[in-house]
Amino acid sequence: MLYYLFDWINKLYAPPGFDAFRFITFRSGLAVLTSLIICFWLGPKIIKKLKEHQIGETIREDGPERHKAKAGTPTMGGLIIHLGILVPVLLWGDLKNMYVWLIILVTVWLGVVGFIDDYLKVVKKYPKGLIARYKLMGQISIGLIVGVILYNSPEFDGIETITTLPFIKNLNWDYVYWWIYIPVIVFIITATSNAVNLTDGLDGLAIGTVGISALTLTVMAYVSGHIEFSRYLSIIYLRGSGELAVFLSALVGASLGFLWFNAYPAQVFMGDTGSLALGGIIGAVSVMIKKELLLPVFGGIFVIETLSVIIQRLYFKYTKRRYGEGRRVFKMAPIHHHFELLGWAEPKIVIRFYIVAIIFAVLSLVTFKIR
């Protein structure tokens, strides 16, 4: 809303420097700084309140032994992340932009689903929290809403089912039919939401890798909404999508701010309140800017984590049926626990996963120039 205030002042009085507020890059920088200030200011207060109400993490019994020391650490810290994202966007974003409101809806929707799950687990002491099918219903329903809105959006007129195909110049992929396009969107948002949730198992791991992915998406959103850059890179120009860079910059700031408290040894965990929403954001933005086919590259860590769980379960079931006892590919899944049980220190695993995530991010951006 400050964006509109300063824009009004600029049009009325034209004071020196106020013209800068028109630029997405300038407002993105302000969104990062605002997000950091909010996280550093409100973070300790929220953590204190969580401790006062004894909202602490319950550690799974079959998890690594060293994790039992984390029992009771405040959870539902995703509230810090949500405030660090939404407040800067409301201050510096263009609230007339369809993309902005749609991604805000995704954030709040999945944040509420995650909050209910955490509340049932931590406060009501239901071991499994929100029943899995209800959680899935929440993810699928927001995926449907995003899919229907995008398909009928004026900004997508004529390119509703078309998306950018990586690596190959002047060639896009067309889903052709809405009944293919919308289910794909539902799958991507649901899968990414759950993938980040699986990644959230070590101090700082999920929020750090989300921040790296968000920074990558910030660049993609900006160039997709810039007619000259999109033409130069041979990608689909999406009028208004550049405004997502402000939202994603706020997410980058919130990631850094939350990491301050979530780094090893963590003072607070994000819980499903944070992880479900963060994954949904990554998936939703990917489909909004038509870069969902690049998601397995810049979101490679989330893909690896998810595949490790799928492989572990399928192999266990197969060997149990064939040999009478289940066998495992990894010592424990998701794969970050496998490295823990190999004796790697938790900070070492997290930093190395960051390095891999950065490599994936660079590779995804390189595909633009290759194209």
| Structural domain that includes position 79 | 1-370
DSSP for residue 56 = B
Please count the CA atoms within 13 angstroms of the CA of 139 that sit on its side-chain side. 30
Instruction: Give yes or no for residue 11 having a pLDDT over 70.
Output: yes
What is the number of helices (H) and of strands (E) in the chain?
14, 2
Sign of the four-CA dihedral 304, 277, 266, 216: positive
- Chain position carrying tokens 């994202």: 85
pLDDT in tens, 55-113: 776 666 666 767 767 777 899 999 999 999 999 999 999 999 999 999 999 999 999 99
Residue 9: band (very low, low, confident or very high) from pLDDT cuts 50, 70, 90? confident
List, as residue ranges, the binding site for Mg(2+): 197, 272
User: Residue 303: what pLDDT?
Assistant: 97
Sign of the four-CA dihedral 241, 243, 248, 251: negative
Average of per-residue pLDDT across 178-204: 96
pLDDT in tens, 245-270: 999 999 999 999 999 999 999 999 99
Count of CB atoms situated within 10 Å of the CB of 314: 11
Longest dimension (CA), the chain: 80
User: Residue 61: what pLDDT?
Assistant: 61
List, as residue ranges, the binding site: 197, 272
The answer to whether the CB of 323 falls within 8 A of the CB of 176 is no
pLDDT in tens, 110-154: 999 999 999 998 888 887 788 999 999 999 999 999 999 999 998
Omega into 347 within 30° of 0, i.e. cis? no
Q: How many domains does the chain have?
A: 1
For the record, the structure tokens of 351 come out as 């930093």
Q: Angle, nearest 10°, between helix axes 205-224 and 24-52?
A: 160
> Cα-Cα-Cα-Cα dihedral of 153, 222, 276, 204, to 10°?
180
Rounded distance between C-alpha atoms, residue 20 and residue 121, angstroms: 47
For the record, the structure tokens of 295 come out as 């998601």
Rounded distance between C-alpha atoms, residue 303 and residue 295, angstroms: 9
Lowest average pLDDT, out of 204-213, 305-314, 324-333, goes to 324-333
Sign of the four-CA dihedral 48, 117, 217, 5: negative
Q: Which residues of 30-62 are buried (b: 16+ CB within 10 A; e: fewer)?
A: bbbebbbebbeebbeebbeebeeeebbbeeeee
User: Residue 371: what pLDDT?
Assistant: 67
The answer to whether the CB of 312 falls within 8 A of the CB of 227 is no
Give the length of the chain: 371
pTM value is 0.94
What's the chain's average pLDDT?
Answer: 92
Rounded distance between C-alpha atoms, residue 263 and residue 205, angstroms: 8
The answer to whether the CB of 142 falls within 8 A of the CB of 110 is yes
Instruction: Give yes or no for residue 343 having a pLDDT over 70.
Output: yes
- Chain position carrying tokens 């909004």: 288
Instruction: Give the contacts of 313 (CB within 8 A, at least 6 positions apart).
Output: 333
The answer to whether the CB of 309 falls within 8 A of the CB of 315 is no
For the record, the structure tokens of 363 come out as 């590779």
User: Residue 172: what pLDDT?
Assistant: 87
Average of per-residue pLDDT across 154-166: 86
User: Residue 314: what pLDDT?
Assistant: 96
* Percentage of the residues of the chain whose pLDDT score is greater than 70: 96
Q: Please, which residues bridge with residue 56 across strands? A: 74
User: Residue 63: what pLDDT?
Assistant: 64
